[in-house]
Amino acid sequence: MTEIFEHYWEHKNFRDEASKNVNNTVHKIWKLSKSSIVSPAHNFFFREIENCKSILDFGAGELDFKDFVLTKGYKGIYKTFDINKSFNYDYNNIEEIHEKFDSICAFEVIEHIPVKDCISLFRKFYELLNEGGKLIITTPNIHHINFFWKTDYTHISHYPYEDLYALLREAGFSKVTLYRFYNQKPILGLYGKFKYYVKRILTHFLEVDYATNIGAIAIK
């Protein structure tokens, strides 16, 4: 925590700047069907990186995003990292990564690690990116009334929009844009629509967010 408070006022200034860099569109991230690996967010993220010559998928999990990217015809270099060894990843230890990438994706990763380690990780991402490279991050939204806590007991660190923005700027990223995502099943029927809009109204008056996840796209 010492490092955090040593840079408190710089961090606060970046927090104050964050609200000017929020994209107001809420993107959907549910899968299109039970058998599909594809969600609307997959297409959104792919549009951001399709022209990159090299991609590092950090915390690659079950390799869903890799499978999707390859089905889209991506021909560049795609490397994967995960400390879990259930799948065949290119890297299991971050210290083994010495090459640089045009893009790094870290989907639903940072909430599983302590804040001080996340600060170091953002700096490492910055080092691993080529000039002009792009970092894409998503994490559960702590402003949602319960999504962060109910989805996974291994969630140990939360990142409000402002702090996520500030930490990325402190790591050296020159431009950071924040995004909001809604991770729920498609809205079907009159009751589904009624429930959805009631939820929207209630969260507004409770001063919380109906968007379940947040994300950032940061440019080196």
Taking the domains of the chain in order of start, what are their residue ranges?
2-219
User: Which residue in this structure is represented by tokens 């995003």?
Assistant: 65
Amino acid at 200: R
May I ask the CATH architecture of the domain 2-219? 3-Layer(aba) Sandwich (3.40)
Consecutive H or E run containing 216: strand 213-219
d(CA 192, CA 142): 24
63: left (phi over 0), alpha (psi -120 to 50) or beta: left
d(CA 32, CA 40): 8
* pLDDT value of position 4: 64
What single letter denotes the amino acid at residue 64?
D
> Please, what is the angle between helix 8-18 and helix 161-170, to 10°?
120
Beta bridge partners of 80: 57
pTM over 0.85: yes
Residue matched to tokens 């690690």: 113
Residue 127, pLDDT score: 97
Angle CA(51)–CA(71)–CA(216) in degrees, nearest 5? 50
Residue type for position 84: N
Question: For residue 97, what pLDDT is reported?
Answer: 95
**Mean pLDDT of all residues in 29-47:** 68
The confidence band for 26, taking pLDDT boundaries of 50, 70 and 90, is confident
Tens-place pLDDT, residues 122-180: 999 999 999 999 999 999 998 888 877 777 788 999 999 899 999 999 999 999 999 99
pLDDT for 12 equals 83
**Distance between first and last Cα of the chain:** 26
Burial class (CB in 10 A: 0-12, 13-18, 19+), 30: middle
Q: Give dist(CA 3, CA 116) in Å, integer.
A: 8
Using N-to-C axis directions, what is the helix angle for 115-128 and 161-170, rounded to 10°?
50
Return the pLDDT at 187.
66
Predicted confidence at residue 5, as pLDDT, reads 66
Tens digits of per-residue pLDDT, 72-110?
999 999 999 999 888 999 999 999 999 999 999 999 999
